[in-house]
Amino acid sequence: MKQEIFAPGLLTGKSVLITGGGTGIGLAMAQLLGELGAHVILVARTAETLEEAVTKLHTEHISADCIPVNIREEQEVTELFDTVSAKWGGCDFLINNAGGQFTAQALNISANGFRSVVDLNLQGTWQMSSAFARMLIEKGRVGRIINIVLCLQSGVPGMVHAGAARAGVMNMTKTLAYEWGEHGILVNAIAPGTIATSGLKQYNTDQIQKGVSRLPVSRIGRADEIAMAAAYLLSPAGSYITGTTLEVDGGEHLLGASDQIKG
């Protein structure tokens, strides 16, 4: 079906670095972008998971490599882009997909708990974006960034830290689109709703079902539906789009905060 939507070879000659690329939404994006011809470079902390993902992609004839990195560590991010430059001469696209949080009511979150989530979702995304842009500018290359955020229009009860961090990423998306447009770097975000991945293990199944039954499109989303949005933004069809957040959420952004799940 995907091959009927996107032309075969659409991304041939392009390379894309995907954080959190060994699992869930990140892996689905690697699979689709790889099927369309891109070389995919997967990044996350767990080497074993990354290697399993690369092996799977190779069996599907996708050109894939991986590098274990903790995006919260500035030095590891610097070394990552040194490696990408040295091994592959750089890359064209960056997808900041790594992220997450724990659920807790705001009054139960310590300063360090809040910091850990901001560190991963906002600081980590910034460190990756900044190093990627510097690499492109130094090489005189153009490129694109996609930030995976979270549906948050009505607040995010039970996830105040993640909501604040992702709102920061959405605003950063606009500012960087503005500042880096002159360097030929397009910066956009995708805000998934509730998507069936192993990342949902930490949530209560009944709560998830209750949440999705209220959606205008009353089902849970699939990881490949996020991947298709990414393929669109990275394809020539996305060449005049920058600074936007595309909601791929079955209409979740239309619901009020009272319809959301409490953590």
Ligand X SMILES: NC(=O)C1=CN([C@@H]2O[C@H](COP(=O)(O)OP(=O)(O)OC[C@H]3O[C@@H](n4cnc5c(N)ncnc54)[C@H](OP(=O)(O)O)[C@@H]3O)[C@@H](O)[C@H]2O)C=CC1
Using CB under 6 A, which of the segments 31-39, 65-73, 78-86, 181-189 binds ligand X?
65-73
Q: Return the exposure string of 28-43: e unless at least 16 CB atoms fall within 10 Å of the residue's CB, then b.
A: bbbbbbbbbbbbbbbb
Q: Binding of ligand LOHRUJSQ at residue 223 (CB under 6 A)?
A: no
Q: Pick what 102 binds: ligand LOHRUJSQ, ligand X, none; C-beta below 5 to 8 Å, kind-dependent.
A: ligand LOHRUJSQ
Residues forming beta bridges with residue 94, ordered by sequence position: 17, 145
Identify the residue among 109, 149, 160, 187 touching ligand LOHRUJSQ (CB under 6 A): 109
Please give the structure tokens belonging to residue 241. 């789009």
Tokens of 153: 């229009």
Pairing mode, strands 143-148 and 39-44? unpaired
Shortest Å distance, C-beta 240 to ligand X: 26
Q: How far apart are CA 57 and CA 205, in angstroms?
A: 30
- How many helices (H) and strands (E) in the chain? 9, 7
Site string for ligand X, 144-183 (x = CB under 6 A): ----x-x---------------------------------
Among 17, 18, 25, 95, binds ligand X (CB under 6 A): 25
Q: In this structure, are residues 254 and 216 in contact, taking their beta carbons and an 8 Å threshold?
A: yes
Shortest separation between residue 95's beta carbon and ligand X, angstroms: 10
Task: Answer yes or no whether residue 102 interacts with ligand LOHRUJSQ by CB under 6 A.
Answer: yes
Contacts of 205 (CB under 8 A, 6+ apart): none
> Which residues here bind ligand X, judged by CB under 6 A?
19-20, 22-26, 44-46, 49, 69-72, 97-100, 120, 124, 148, 150, 192, 194-195, 197-200
